[in-house]
Structure 1
Amino acid sequence: MNQSESEGKTMKFTESYEYEAPVAKVWQMLSDPAFVTSRDENLEIPDPTVETNAQANQIVSTTSGEVPPSMIPAAAQRFLKGGAEFLIREEWRLVDATTIHGALRAEGKGVPAYLQAQVELKQTPAGNTKATMNGEIKVNIPFLGAKLEKQALSFAPKLIAADKKAATDWLANN
């Protein structure tokens, strides 16, 4: 993550990256369940279930499945039996021809933790789309929460790489 800090009991973060496509094409990509599935597969999440409802100016996408034990930090594994079921909800709103606003929330079933973020996708003068994400991670496990939040942030490069690979592949083929 570009920036992170612990404020109180929540770990805040900011991340920026760019898609090599204009906002209109990124909007098409976000509305395609195949893109979301590909992103999850790049994270090695087996058999994610993806539902996408795309309308003129709004997209709501949910992804659910099970996180393999190998992706769960060691300190958290003792609190969970096997993997953990998760749900990710993404909501996107097309503001105008150059801007998309998004909100996402990820949480696990029976896991005292969540990630939520606000995302702005803005077209650059070069015709690409810059993503700026501001969010927070919260783990409600006494004495281990802050440590697990930091470990969760360490997965950020893998998450962004999975998103970028899925986006690059989708944009090249659509």
Structure 2
Amino acid sequence: MARMQIEAHNDFAADPAAVHAMLTDADFLSAVCVESGDLSHRVAATPDHSAVERTMRTPSVVQRFLGDTLTLLQDIRWNAPAADGSRTGTLDLTVRGMPAKADVTIALRPGGRGTLVDFTGDFSIKVPFLGGKLEAQAAPALLEGFAVQQKVGDEWLATRNAESA
């Protein structure tokens, strides 16, 4: 069964250490959930690992297959930083009760406005005959999550930069 390729990018105006600290901050992760319109969420975060459980409304294009709500489990593990502050990590996304999974590699490195964060991997829904169609319909909602992270991250960093000025 084919897997759909996922590729997303964030570009934050801060150095890699500050961006990593933000991406592993429980308050930041909660803010992303709130901005996403999640119905509920739970967050546990350390500098090496974060776990987020999010209950959300099912995107309308797949609602007839999945019901009104779904619970997304997000697990991120970070490797130690390199001398320049760059890091790699993994993001595993699963949907509780569904054969849906995203396996994503994260590359955080200096560049762009300060730090680039690239997400590359694949997404699959293992349902005979319908999996590919469901993947195509669900992928835009998955990618929207990275856009929300960019928006919340820009606001988060601007607030902290203003406080330290």
Q: TM-score, normalised by structure 1?
A: 0.82
* Residues 31/17 of structure 1: CA separation in 2 closer, same or farther (3 Å cut): closer
1:52 correspondence with 2:41: no
Structure 1 SS opposite 2:80: strand
Q: Which residue of 1 aligns with 2:92?
A: 105
Asked whether the equivalents of residues 101 and 123 of structure 2 are also in contact (C-alpha less than 8 Å), the reply is yes
Residue type of the partner of 2:54? G
The answer to which structure has the higher helix fraction is: 2
Q: 1:169 aligns with which of 137, 140, 155?
A: 155
Structure 2 gap segments, 5+ residues each: 161-165
Across the aligned residues of Structure 1 and Structure 2, the Cα RMSD in angstroms comes to: 1.9
Distance 2:79 2:139 in 1: 26
Letter paired with 1:60: H
What SS does structure 2 have at the residue aligned with 1:63? strand
1:108-165 deviations in Å (ceiling 9; x for gaps): 11111111200101102x6611122111001011111111111222224522221011
Three-state SS of the structure 2 residue aligned to 1:94 is coil
Task: For residue 143 of structure 1, give the secondary structure of its aligned residue in structure 2.
Answer: coil
Task: Tell me if structure 2 keeps the 8 A contact 1:84–1:111.
Answer: no
Q: Structure 1 CA distance, aligned partners of 2:66 and 2:147?
A: 27
Between 10-19 and 128-137, the greater mean CA deviation after superposition = 10-19
Structure 1 Cα separation of the partners of residues 116 and 45 of structure 2: 23
Distance in 2, Cα, partners of 1:123 & 1:116? 23
How many pairs are equivalent? Answer: 159
Q: What is the aligned counterpart of 1:87 among 59, 70, 73?
A: 73
1:41 aligns with 2:34: yes
Gaps in structure 1 of 5+ consecutive residues: 1-7
Correspondence for 2:128: 142
2:105 matched to which residue of 1? 118
Contact 1:72–1:83, Cα closer than 8 Å, also in 2: no
User: Structure 2-normalised TM-score?
Assistant: 0.86
User: How far 1:38 moved relative to its partner?
Assistant: 0.9
Matched, 1:63 2:49: no
Amino acid at match of 1:17: N
More moved, 133-142 vs 12-21: 12-21
Following TM superposition, by how much is the alpha carbon of 1:46 offset from its aligned partner in structure 2, in angstroms?
1.9
Runs of 4+ in 1 over 6 A off after TM superposition: none
> Match of 1:94, as an amino acid?
A
